[in-house]
Amino acid sequence: MRGQAQRLFKRATRKIYLIVDGHPVHRSVAIKQFVAEYADRLCLIRLPGYCSELNPDELLNQDVKTNALGKSRPTNKADMIRNVRSHLHRRQKEPNVIRNLFNEKHVRYAA
């Protein structure tokens, strides 16, 4: 997380509000220490448990399943990995598509 946060900190001009799910790594001692260390620049917002509809990541996951895996079925693991990486790389160059995911009513809070 340190590396990712450092990249965010370089670009951010104001406090970062990071939405996290209930994954155990997000509740670890290391994360708690990190957030405490950077409390002036970083705030974690924890999603309630079992609320996948509130998690913007789930919309991207659905996009990947539909467009990277559903349109041309991979025949093996390597094909699947290649399709997913290619799709996510394409999405990286389409910020408008990612922005549109946040128009869904359950995740507008994160926009």
CA distance 6 to 24: 22
CA dihedral 11, 106, 100, 64 (to 10 degrees): 90
Q: Which residues of the chain have pLDDT under 70?
A: 1-2
Phi-psi region of 50 (alpha: psi -120 to 50; beta: other; left: phi over 0): left
Which pLDDT does position 93 carry in this prediction? Answer: 94
Same domain, 64 and 28: no
The parent domain of residue 94 ranges over 53-110
Same domain, 38 and 58: no
Same domain, 60 and 32: no
**Mean pLDDT of all residues belonging to the chain:** 87
